[in-house]
Amino acid sequence: MPFSTEPPASGERYALSASLDNARHLSSLLRAVHFQDHATCLATASGLRVTVEDAKCIQANAFIQAEIFQEFSVQEESVMFRISLSVLLDCLTIFGTSSLPGTSTALRLCYRGYGYPLMLFLEEGGVVTVCKINTQEPEELLDFDFCSTKVVNKIILQSEGLREAFAELDMTSEVLQITMSPDKPYFRLSTFGNAGSAHLDYPRDSDLMEAFHCNQTQTNRYKISLLKPSTKALALSCKVSIRTDAQGFLSLQYMIRNEDGQICFVEYYCCPDENITEAEL
Amino acid sequence: LSRIGDELYLEPTESGLSLRAVNSSRSAFAAFLFAPLFFQLYEPGSAGPDTELFRCKVHMKSFLGVFRSLPSLEKSVGKCLILLKPRASRLVLQLHCKHGVTKTHNLAFQECERLQAVFDTQRCASRLCAPARLLAEAVVHFPPTLAEVTLGTGPGGKISLRNYVEDDAEPSKTMVTELWLAEDEFQSVAVAPGSHITFCLKEFRGLLSFAEASNLPLTIHFDEPGRPVIFTLDDTVLEVHLVLATLSDLESSSQSPSTNGVSHLPAPSDDFADDLESYMAAMETSEGCSEGPPSPTFPLRTPQPAKSKPQEEEEEEEEEEEGAVPGTPPHKKFRSLFFGSVMTPGRPGPATTQEVLAEDSDGES
């Protein structure tokens, strides 16, 4: 249901203003990266990027392109602020999280600029809620410097094949070990928990495998507690791309199709666990 | 099996793979024997002239963790491969799933002594056979928290089920539920009139759900109070036994021996497992047998000063070990039944143990 535009006070233009007919398109994506309380939002002409980091080891980004919004305008080249993601999500879902068919919460986002709070206008069934969330100085974000030229191994899998695996990961294991290789076992997820070790093997000719480009055998370990939150993104997605570079940095990119069939992306970057060297494996 | 014990004993035999469990107070024992035909491929390995077939035990939780969600397993898993690798000390469970995905679990195991309860269905005076559904429907009338239930035979061949109430319970605060089943509801009834037994319902429920799910009739073999009750399920490829200790009557002073030429076990291997269970088993059988074994269950809460000393020591041993015993109230003294794991084969009487870790000064073995 289209939401009428609030006229900006005293003729001022907002640094960022956006309208979205269905707030769920935003809230579900943000939930997929909600493993820390705070997030950094970056708005550019191409859309909104919300970044969450932890332990200087892991970074998750949720991308919502401008095309997803009914209206999206950014006055400067880019607008950046830090905000409580927990509060933002609570506000976006203020009318409840259960999705009844036919009903949706309409959203209007307004941000005047540096130092101003983020304003949210939410409407459902004629009831309007106005939220003002304080913003903070954006923190410097990690740059994993992950570009396609540096990728050593890459596979694209259908998410349904990984969902159960990630949901059932042996959390008594400290690490999740990922092996990618042009030879057997091709793609292997391993845990080393209290009960013993467990290995999940995906052959390169599996019908879950959409693309398989492995040039080198690589085995890397990542702290399982850092990667576990990515399960949320996996649950929403239809496809996932798994890439590693020469240093063992991991890139997980999730393709998410929303209720209207539009495509959004969430990506996770993770550093390998420094305590383990390949020699020990 | 997980309703009974925390550890799963795996014993491959020539006649199939046996999975067993025992509870911490050793008053419940269950064994599932899967015949070779149950499997697509069954290779128990070869026992050498000096060695027995390898057996081990794993933590129940670890094993169950492999088969986490049954509905999705049924949909996604095609084959399961179970490999026992003694040299690597690993039990390998490999699930071959759809889309070519393979899940391999390497579980750590412990070597163990043979777990075998001493019982003989032939010696039971009474036998009942019923479809699992009948018993499940009967048991549903009892609260889920009920610990013990009494099964009895009544006039007209009727079978009764009643919740067991302690003698000292206040009559005004207790609820007694009793239900009677007609003889014709059972598939077969061959019972000694006026007999009754009381056993732990919690441990029985696990087997009952399995029986219902597999649609197999359940046979109950029982005898006098105090002697174990044996529940069996039989199928072409599966044999299940559940042995539960029963409460003995205060009145009945049956001191019938509990180990009577039943279950001659193979001599223990020379590498006697250095674990507490075996020690306890050794203590129990050596002590118990030497005195002319008493009834397998202690009378309800009676201090029994007249009992012979070795048995008292046994009691202490068990109580020290028991701690929190799930499903068996400590004061009930469902005494442990069995485990002649150190019995020399062919001799039903007092066993000369090959190796006792700590000799009791009053012991006679």
Where along chain A do its domains lie?
Answer: 16-136, 151-270
Is the Cβ–Cβ distance between A84 and A76 less than 8 Å? Answer: no
Cα(A205)–Cα(A233) distance, rounded to whole angstroms? 25
For chain A, what is the mean pLDDT? Answer: 87
Task: CATH number of the domain at B198, please.
Answer: 3.70.10.10
Query: According to the model, what pLDDT value does residue B192 have?
Result: 81
Listed residue (B8, B6, B2, B1) closest to B323, CA to CA: B6
CA pair distance A208, A159, nearest whole angstrom? 8
Percentage of chain A beyond pLDDT 70 is: 93
One-letter identity of residue B153: T
ipTM for the whole predicted complex goes beyond 0.85: no
Chain A residues in contact with B101 by the CB 8 A cut-off are 161, 200-203, 206, 208
A176 confidence band (pLDDT: 50, 70, 90): very high
Residue entry with tokens 């309703």: B3
Q: Check: CB of residue B228 under 8 Å from CB of residue B322.
A: no
Separation in Å, CA of B217 to nearest CA in chain A:
35
pLDDT at res. B225: 85
- pLDDT tens digits along A27-77: 999 999 999 999 999 999 999 999 999 988 899 999 999 999 999 999 888
Which of chain A's residues have a Cβ under 8 Å away from the Cβ of B76? Answer: 164
- Which one, of B167, B164, B230, B222, lies nearest residue B198 by Cα? B164
Q: Identify whether residues B107 and B178 lie together within a single domain.
A: no
Q: Which of B221, B247, B273 is the last residue of a domain?
A: B247
Query: What pLDDT was estimated at residue A181?
Result: 92
Residues B231/B244, Cβ–Cβ less than 8 Å:
yes
The fold of the A16-136 domain, in CATH, is Proliferating Cell Nuclear Antigen (3.70.10)
Q: B262 lies in a domain?
A: no
The ranges of chain B with pLDDT < 70 are: 46-53, 169, 250-365
Could you tell me the residue range of the domain that residue B16 belongs to? 7-111
Structure tokens at B307: 């009992």
Same fold, A16-136 and A151-270: yes
| Contact predicate A99/A16, CB 8 Å | no
Amino acid, res. B272: F
Contacts of A200 in chain B (CB under 8 A): 101-104
Taking only residues 17 to 76 of chain A, the set having a beta carbon closer than 8 angstroms to any beta carbon of chain B reads none
Nearest CA in chain B to A171: B65
Q: Do B99 and A161 touch (CB under 8 A)?
A: yes
- Tokens describing residue B209: 């759900």
- Based on the domain organization, do B49 and B134 belong to the same domain? no
- Same domain (yes/no): B29, B57: yes
User: Which residue in chain A is spatially nearest to B95 when comparing CA positions?
Assistant: A200
- Residue B157: the pLDDT is 76
Nearest-by-Cβ selection for B101 from A170, A198, A202:
A202
Asked if residue A231 lies in contact with residue A166, where contact means CB atoms within 8 angstroms, the answer is yes
Residue B47: inside a domain: yes
A200 in reach of chain B (CB within 8 A)? yes
Which chain A residue lies closest to B105 (C-alpha atoms)? A198
**Region of B283 on the Ramachandran plot (φ > 0 left; ψ -120 to 50 alpha; else beta):** alpha
First to last CA, chain A: 56
User: Per the structure block, which two tokens stand in for B164?
Assistant: 């067991």
Question: In this predicted structure, what is the pLDDT of residue B23?
Answer: 87
Could you check whether the bond before residue A2 is cis, i.e. omega within 30 degrees of 0?
Answer: no
Subunit contact B104:A168, Cβ cutoff 8 A = no
pLDDT at position A260 is: 84
Residue B362 confidence (pLDDT)? 52
Judged by CB atoms closer than 8 Å, whether chains meet at B108 and A161 is answered as no
Q: Are residues B237 and B154 in the same domain?
A: yes
B81 lies in the same domain as B133: no
Q: Encode burial over B165-188: b for 16+ CB neighbours within 10 A, e otherwise.
A: eeeeeeeeeeeeeeeebeeebbee
Q: Nearest chain B residue to A157 by CA: give it.
A: B99
Axis crossing angle, helix A85-92 with helix A24-31, rounded to the nearest 10: 150
Task: Find all residues with CB under 8 Å of B324, minimum gap 6, and list them.
Answer: none
Q: What is the pLDDT of residue B347?
A: 34
Angstrom distance (rounded) from CA B131 to CA B158: 16
Helix (H) or strand (E) holding B73: helix B70-76
Report yes or no on B87 lying in a domain: yes
Q: Of B63, B95, B106, B109, which to mutate for an interface test with A (greatest number of A Cβ within 10 Å)?
A: B106
The number of domains in chain B is 2
The count of other CB atoms within 10 Å of the CB of residue B294 is: 22
Pick among 3.70.10.10, 3.20.20.70, 3.30.160.20, 3.30.465.10: CATH of A151-270: 3.70.10.10
CB-defined contacts A:B, below 8 A: 56
Shortest CB distance from A206 goes to which of B100, B105, B107? B100
For residue B221, list its beta bridge partners: B127, B230
Q: Residues B232, B240: contact at Cβ < 8 Å? A: yes
DSSP secondary structure, B168-237, as one string: TS-GGG----EEEE-GGGSSEEE--TT-EEEEEHHHHHHHHHHHHHHT-EEEEEE-STTSPEEEEEE-SS
The residue of chain B nearest to residue A169, with distances taken between CA atoms, is B65
Distance between B239 CA and the closest CA of chain A, angstroms: 28
| Nearest CB to B107; choose among A196, A201, A208 | A196
C-alpha span between A232 and A167 (Å, rounded): 9
Q: For B64, which residue in chain A has the nearest alpha carbon?
A: A195
- Under an 8 A CB cutoff, do A195 and B104 touch? no
Question: pLDDT by residue (tens digit) across A89-147?
Answer: 999 988 887 767 778 889 999 999 888 999 999 998 889 999 999 999 988 888 888 87
Q: Do A201 and B90 touch (CB under 8 A)?
A: no
Reported as type and span, the H/E element at residue A239 is strand A237-245
